[in-house]
Amino acid sequence: MPAPPEPPLAVSPEVSPQRRPRPQPPGARRAPVGWQLQATGVLLFLFIPLVLYLFVRHPEPVAVSLGAGIVLMAGHRFLARPYMARAIPHKCLWCNRMLSAAMPAFDAATLTLDLVIDGQLTAARCCAAHRAPAARCFRFLGMARLPLRLGIFAPLLLLLAALAAAAAGHPQALPAATALFQLLVGLTVSAAAWGILLVRAPAEQTPLPVPFPAHNFFLLGVRSLLWIFRLVGAWWIVRGLSFFFG
């Protein structure tokens, strides 16, 4: 099937001809097809609930659930990072919609938000109206990074240890470790998702560091991710509390 023609580049008349984007030479990387980019993002996101299912529900045999969860968790980044690189120029970081193919500098409807991802300055694109909420989110995550990291990794390590013990024939601690994992992670992601409402967007344009694996923010967009955190977080808090106090 022949590839669709490149969409015309929107250039405002004030831009001098020298600064206008040139047509891509043949063989240059084409803009990805919108639905394919979105569908790939959803598929890559689904790794996360699958890993959580394997760890939290740990279907028998537990050793297989644990091993598969670890392999998926470790392998995810190798698929999700190239996806992030492909998605950054084409999707709004906040609402996840496809943006025009025009170069960001020539498109008044979109802005970029400077992020520091693994030490590299990265200009993430977003709708003009969505730069402020995205900036607010990464500002809060940067401010609260230590308690948020602790609130995810400590219960995760505890659950992995309990799963390994169960796989070795000592399942006694697993129900409590699972409930504690859900309660603490539920509290942490709720704090992150509601906490961003407490801070203002930074006034200056200093690049904002991303203190968590950055690719996860580009799969469904930050707005959807935060709503998933709020809903699943509330559910897990209830599950955890009902185990200990129910």
CA angle at 153 for the pair 152 and 156, rounded to the nearest 5°: 90
Other CB atoms within 10 Å distance of the CB of residue 218 = 25
Decide if 123 contacts 104 (C-beta within 8 A).
yes
Min separation Cβ 224 and Zn ion, Å: 11
Site string for Zn ion, 207-246 (x = CB under 5 A): ----------------------------------------
- Segment interacting with Zn ion, rule: CB under 5 A, options 79-87, 123-131, 204-212, 227-235: 123-131
Binding of Zn ion at residue 127 (CB under 5 A)? yes
Can you tell me whether residue 10 is helix, strand or coil?
coil
- Kindly give the pairing relationship between strand 208-209 and strand 110-117: parallel
Decide if 188 contacts 141 (C-beta within 8 A).
no
Cα 222 from chain centroid? 7
Decide if 94 contacts 112 (C-beta within 8 A).
no
Can you tell me whether residue 110 is helix, strand or coil?
strand
Binding of Zn ion at residue 132 (CB under 5 A)? no
Min separation Cβ 37 and Zn ion, Å: 15
Min separation Cβ 112 and Zn ion, Å: 12
- Segment interacting with Zn ion, rule: CB under 5 A, options 129-137, 142-150, 175-183, 235-243: 129-137
Smaller CB distance to Zn ion: residue 74 or 109? Answer: 109
Residues 60-99 that bind Zn ion (CB under 5 A): 92, 94-95
Min separation Cβ 134 and Zn ion, Å: 8
Q: Which residues bind Zn ion (CB under 5 A)?
A: 92, 94-95, 127, 130
